[in-house]
Amino acid sequence: MEIEEFTQYVVLKAQETGTSDIHILPEDNQYRFYFRIGGKMSFWNTVPEEEGKRFISYFKYLANMDVGERRKPQSGAAQLIIEGNTTALRFSTITNFRAQESMVIRILNQSMHLSLSKTTYFKKEVQMIEQLAQFNSGLLIFSGPVGSGKTTTMYQLVRESYLTSRQQVITVEDPVEIEEPLFLQTQVNEKAGITYETLLKSSLRHHPDIIIIGEIRDEETAKMVIRGALTGHMIIASVHAKNTVGVISRLLELGVTQEQLKQTLLGVVFQKLIPRYCPFCKGDCEPACLHINLYEKRAILYDVLSREELKQYLNQTQTEEQIQEKQTRSFNLLLRKVYAYGYISEKSFIQFQIP
């Protein structure tokens, strides 16, 4: 099989199994392929070392990466046309101490349009999030680990709102992970001088109803986000933090003042994708099991901090510990409830708790 055919075959097989990432890892004198399905790595195939190197080099060529450079870590992106469909891919390479190169391929643009209420364990939190998204202006923050479905949640939330009333939606991402023709999607390109800050400034001049920001990762982006919320725009963004309260601490670290948060912050949503329990698998539902549909083998557990609890924390009348003690629907309490109902395994209950 030619290298071009082989690369298409691998990506196609990955898509058929709902794979989010393809890992190509060197082991002795061969390369092993792993598919990350539902957050877990599953072994797929083994190829000789030379063929593995050719596979990595081909994708580096497609992504305009330096094919001859194998010592330094590299990253890139490319689009592959398979059976008439365009698939967006993101690449990352790193070399081990034996000078053997490895690659991870993230498969983008394959999100299913499932309503938020169908992808969660509890609908009450979804209703709270949908109510927060109805405001004309303000800041709504999402947080959670990498791969927890933050972008999918933000898109689906705005998509459902868009279908009820026509709005202009602009996204600022690095890179665009889900293609959505209803939105005006923009992408960061550091080499061309197109930064988060540049795109945000331009987006605000475009007078959108809603701006979706892939990630608030520096002080300049944080300041622009606050400015957008203060000038009457609805901003939906993501921040990496341990929990809902940790998001506020992170924003303060990025130079946002307490007063600015009081004036703009509508709510904070923390989420994790947790595997469903399967009675046939006697634990987390396996990829090959047909009892639960492929894209429903995991569901999201949300923790929402808003309204009175948020005000009390921002006014510093309650500490983080006091807020969590009073919360009847904090993440860990909801996780315990999900486990008690038999929706998840004991292993998942232990693994996904917030320490």
C-alpha distances in angstroms, 354 versus 70, 125, 266, 268, 348? Answer: 38, 18, 23, 16, 12
Q: Give the rounded distance of the alpha carbon of 162 from its chain centre.
A: 21
For the chain, the straight-line distance linking the first and the last C-alpha, in angstroms and rounded, comes to 49
Position 86 scores a pLDDT of 84
Position 197 scores a pLDDT of 86
Position 1 scores a pLDDT of 65
Q: How many CB atoms lie within 10 A of CB 274?
A: 24
Position 174 scores a pLDDT of 85
Average pLDDT over residues 122-133: 95
Q: What is the CATH number of domain 116-351?
A: 3.40.50.300
Residue 84 has pLDDT above 90, yes or no: no
Mean pLDDT of the chain: 90
Q: How many CB atoms lie within 10 A of CB 244?
A: 28
Domain locations in the chain? 3-107, 116-351
What is the assigned CATH class of domain 3-107? alpha beta
Top-confidence range, 72-76, 179-183, 250-254: 250-254
What are the tens digits of pLDDT across the range 188-228? 888 788 988 899 999 999 989 999 999 998 999 999 999 99
Name the pLDDT band for 87 (thresholds 50, 70, 90): confident
Q: Which residue has the tokens 């486990």?
A: 339
Position 38 scores a pLDDT of 80
Average pLDDT over residues 301-316: 89
Closest CA to 23 of 2, 5, 37, 8: 37
